[in-house]
Structure 1
Amino acid sequence: MNKLSLSNREKLLSLIPLPWQVPQWSQLMQQKIADQLAHAYIVQGDQGLGKRLFVEKFAITLLCLNKESTDACGECTVCKMAIGGSLPDLLIIEPEEGSRDIKIDQIRLLSNFVNKSSHAGSGKVLILDRAHNLNNSAANALLKTLEEPTSATFIFLVTDLPGALPATIRSRCQRLQFSIPSTEKSSQWLLEQLPLGSDNSALAVTFASKPLLAFTDDSKGGVEGFSTMIHILSTLLTSTTELRPAVSQTSKIGELLSIGYLIEVSTILIKDLLTESEPRSVSTEINALSSRLRKSGIESRSLNLKLLNYQQELVKGRHQLMSGSNPNPQLIMESLLWQWTKLFIRP
């Protein structure tokens, strides 16, 4: 889980919907006004797009007692409880600290919540974050809840990997898709929101496809996660480095996010290699990696062709992770990292 500090979280929550989330917000609000909201949604898209914050904000708006408002009013009992950090009619379930899986005991808690009466009388909302981490027993238990909808209870399954969810669950939910925003739109938004600093332009470029990761505070995402990925790529160019530790590190970052970083790094490397001057990329780590490739003895045109072909494999890997074929994320990452180690071997 890429964690936001409390101050960052409150600030970002107040900005929801973000510029790239407006279509999804309008869709849900129209369904709300028409009393046509689905019982359950799969909220899907890449990491760093603010899916969970979006659903949390919509949940508060949905539960708000001022039904004439198109946003949470901030004044009713429900809104004041939400501001205070305690909202009885909202339950959020995610993998417990130190665990990758969502377990059956947590889904039993969900079932109990669903069967209780609404505290404020305005309904109940359940958010299942990283729903793709449901283990088999938990998935089967959740399916029973989805098969027996409860009035005025809404379930949101937030996921980066919808294909990892069982088909039986996917078939009982409406999809809400979030797409990567344009670089121009997200970069401009980041420059407006980031604290003043000399590295803001670099951050805006690096995290244009995953804007909210620029605000994370842990080593699994954001700036540190991106740097870790570059370090992995550099060490893998050493023939003595084993793949298993690298795959383990990408698992901690998240396979889908790791692939996104790989695509970003390869794009920057291609741009650097197309110039004749010394690299001037967004980070010293990428500059060092670019310089190392320049000194590999392989002609620049050939290097770029290899990187372009590798990018195609990365895109395929990302599609596999997001497909409905129950992919194995670790095997996909192992294959992609192995391909990286073979890219720069001279014929």
Structure 2
Amino acid sequence: MSELVTAHPWFNDRFQHLTQLHQANRLPHALLLHGMPGIGKADFAQSFAHYLLCQQPENNRACGHCKPCELNMAGSHPDLYLLEPEEQGKQLKVDQVRALNEFIYSTAQQGGYRVVVLNPADSMNIASANALLKMLEEPGGDTLILLITSKIGQLLPTIKSRCQHVECHPPAEAEAVSWLMNAAELDEERAKNILHINLGAPMEALAYINNGLNEQRAQLVRGLADILKQRRTALEVAQAWSKLNIELILSWFYSLLIDAARGALCESSEFIRQDDARNMINAVAKKTNPVRIFKLADKVHEERKAILLRQNPNKQLLLECILLEWAALLN
């Protein structure tokens, strides 16, 4: 039997606010948890669901030893419904949403709340979102629907307007570094460097470590440096990168460009945060107009967004175009 999920400490204020709403009988029937990816929003949602279903919460947290808590630890609580796509990265099917009807409008088997956790909410297409609308408008009593997203702009306005929003912020750097040091048994410098690579998102940083992404990251930095030093052409690097996780590569490339633009604007390397590419970023920042860097960053961002929106661009051609522009930055 596993342990109960615990909300991360940087969400304590948000969590306490929701518990106060519940205790005052003012908890809405739908909450939309949104914020940047990799900061633990899913753990926050599950932890709050466990609190609501607990029979004797302690210090505004699930007790961990009542029957509902035991059921949650076993992953078999009948009043908790986890709704997600059948495959990661795929859309949530309308039939999956419609299957919620019986759960939403039935009586709670444990006599308390019924909780739905929908993650990610942006995986709904128009049909599945419309199927959810009626449940959001007319839920059963003592029902909470928790929607989670890192892409709030992709949700229908009708969905967003029927939920109370809970904006989830990333932790302060010191708190994130401390958490990652403990979670991954790292020293402070290594934890800080990996967090900078992952834009300060602790869960993304931990996944970076657990999934062994060091080599992909090294290929990114090496490829960009080779182009600038004319050791390889943009076409050769694009061909090598096309076998990697393109979404991840573009995310890292974008953050490197933002660092370079920041360095160019401030005319200082002090604002460059990614140590594994510091010399290269500094060289680009010193020799390039920040407007040109921002223009390429915008292009990389748009190409990544196209992939996230499940468009199917020619990856080789996409990479060739942006790497040719990277090569031109120092010309």
Which structure's relative contact order is higher, taking Cα pairs within 8 Å and 6+ residues apart?
Answer: 1
How many angstroms apart in 2 are the aligned matches of 1:107 and 1:236? 48
| 2:79 is equivalent to residue 101 of structure 1 | no
Q: Which moved more, 1:234-243 or 1:194-203?
A: 234-243
How many angstroms apart in 1 are the aligned matches of 2:212 and 2:174? 22
Residue-by-residue CA offset, 1:137-180 (whole Å, 9 max, x unaligned): 21111112112121001001100111111111111111111123
| 2:246 is equivalent to residue 240 of structure 1 | no
In 2 relative to 1, CA 186–124 (structure 1 residues): closer, same or farther, beyond 3 Å? same
Q: Could you tell me which amino acid in structure 2 is paired with residue 342 of structure 1?
A: E
| 2:325 is equivalent to residue 342 of structure 1 | yes
Aligned to 2:298: 313
Is the Cα contact below 8 Å between 1:183 and 1:208 reproduced in 2?
no
Match of 1:212 among 203, 207, 213: 203
- Equivalent positions of 1:100-139 (< 5 A) are 100-139=90-129
How many angstroms apart in 1 are the aligned matches of 2:102 and 2:223? 44
Match of 2:54 among 57, 64, 73: 64
How many angstroms apart in 1 are the aligned matches of 2:227 and 2:256? 14
Deviation at 1:227, TM superposition (A): 5.6
Deviation at 1:46, TM superposition (A): 0.6
Residue-by-residue CA offset, 1:79-138 (whole Å, 9 max, x unaligned): 111122221111111111265100012102222211221111111100100110112221
Aligned to 2:165: 175
* 5+ residue gaps, structure 1: 1-5, 322-326
How many angstroms apart in 1 are the aligned matches of 2:170 and 2:50? 25
How many angstroms apart in 2 are the aligned matches of 1:312 and 1:258? 10
Aligned to 1:54: 44
The secondary structure found in structure 2 opposite 1:47 is: coil
Is the Cα contact below 8 Å between 1:131 and 1:157 reproduced in 2?
yes
Q: What value does the CA root-mean-square deviation take over the aligned residues? A: 4.3
- Equivalent positions of 1:269-284 (< 5 A) are 269=260, 282-283=275-276
Q: Could you tell me which amino acid in structure 2 is paired with residue 38 of structure 1?
A: P
How many angstroms apart in 2 are the aligned matches of 1:30 and 1:196? 36
Q: Could you tell me which amino acid in structure 1 is paired with residue 160 of structure 2?
A: R
How many angstroms apart in 2 are the aligned matches of 1:172 and 1:181? 28
The secondary structure found in structure 2 opposite 1:125 is: strand
Match of 2:9 among 15, 19, 25: 19
In 2 relative to 1, CA 120–196 (structure 1 residues): closer, same or farther, beyond 3 Å? same
Percent of matched pairs sharing the same residue: 27
Is the Cα contact below 8 Å between 1:215 and 1:222 reproduced in 2?
no
The secondary structure found in structure 1 opposite 2:145 is: strand
The secondary structure found in structure 1 opposite 2:147 is: strand
Aligned length: 315
Q: Could you tell me which amino acid in structure 1 is paired with residue 325 of structure 2?
A: K
How many angstroms apart in 2 are the aligned matches of 1:328 and 1:144? 25
